[in-house]
Structures are given as C-alpha cells and as structure tokens.
Amino acid sequence: MSHPNHETRSPIAHPVNVARLPDRGTPVLIEPDAETRAELADEHGLLGVESFKADLTVEKWKRNGVRVRGRVEALIDQECVVTLEPLRNRIDEEIDAVFLPEDSKLGREGFDVGGEIHLDMDGPDSPETFSGDFIDVGALAEQFFGLAIDPYPRKANAKVEAEPEAGEEAPMSDWQAKLAGLARKP
C-alpha cells in the first residue's frame, strides 16, 4: 500500500483501494475524534474544529478513472480579524473530483480526444492523477475543507475604520489637525 509522504500526510488520511471498486461505488464516512480535529485546527490556523464530517462515495469513472463525490461539513472556531474575538463559522462544501492513473491517455489529452478540455461548470474540476491502487480521500476532503475556510473571518457587527477612497483625504484626528496646523506656521 503506497502512502503519501509522512511529512505531508493529512491528519484525516483515509486511503481507499480503487483497484476493484464495486459498481455502486464505495461509501466513506470520515468523522475524526477530538484529538484529530485539534490537529486539523493547528494545520489550518484555527482556534478549533468543533465538528467535522466528510460523507463521500468513491466510484469508477469512465474506463480507469475514479470519481469522488460527497460533501464536507464542519463547525470551526476562528479569530475575528477586527475584534480578535472568537467566532464560529460553518463549512458546507460539495466535493466532486476525478482522478486518473498517471499513465492514462485521457489524462494527458484532457476530457476530449481532440485535445480540447470541455469544462462543465457544475461538474468536477480537471482530473488529478494518482499512482498505485490507493487514493487518499481524507486528504481530498481536507483540501476542500481548507479552501472553504474564510481567510478574513469577521463578526457580524464588527466595524473596520474605512480607508479613504483614492483621491479622497482621510478625516484628521485632533492631534493630526494640530500637527498640520503647526507645520503650516512660518
């Protein structure tokens, strides 16, 4: 069984043998314990991961590809970028990914034999490649989880001092006005 490099191994690694997938696909449910959720929080710069669930189906795609579909849901605790107070955000992300063996002709040429790739906005992204008989669907779920995290979380009522528009002068505070007045005096 080939595992990814241990330095980059996901805390929720879940390799699935894709060599002999049943016709109806293989269901995978990933619900990490508190210790593993704490590792996820550390990796993604979060205060905490209150809950995490990836509900996936791994199925055959075309002749020798694999499609992973499902969703990842989580409750995460982050720090508000304005008030620095903790806040809770919900992640609910759909997963739809296609994997092709590294030596796949389809992978080199794209979805269409003529060399053109037709992107379906509601379909999976361009295929990723894999080698061996295993795909780590846990790492895939973590990837979608990571992309869904708001990099600038903000409490609903948190206000940021507005930056002046280009060409507009910012209103001066009292001390700035006094300094400006002093600077103008001969």
Domain assignment present for 126: yes
Say which amino acid occupies 64. N
pTM attached to this predicted model = 0.72
72-123 residue pLDDT tens: 999 999 999 998 999 999 999 999 999 999 877 665 444 444 444 444 555 5
Residue 87 lies in a domain: yes
Residue 36 lies in a domain: yes
Flag whether 38 is in a domain.
yes
Give the whole-angstrom CA distance, residue 57 versus residue 51: 20
Please check whether residue 77 lies inside any domain of the structure: yes
In a domain, 132, yes or no: yes
Number of folded domains that form the chain: 1
Structural domain that includes position 65? 6-161
Give the model's confidence band at 1: pLDDT under 50 very low, under 70 low, under 90 confident, else very high.
Answer: very low
Q: What is the chain's alpha carbon radius of gyration, rounded to the nearest angstrom?
A: 24
Whether residue 173 is contained in a domain is answered as: no
| Whole-angstrom distance, CA of residue 135 vs CA of residue 59 | 12
Whole-angstrom distance, CA of residue 140 vs CA of residue 28: 12
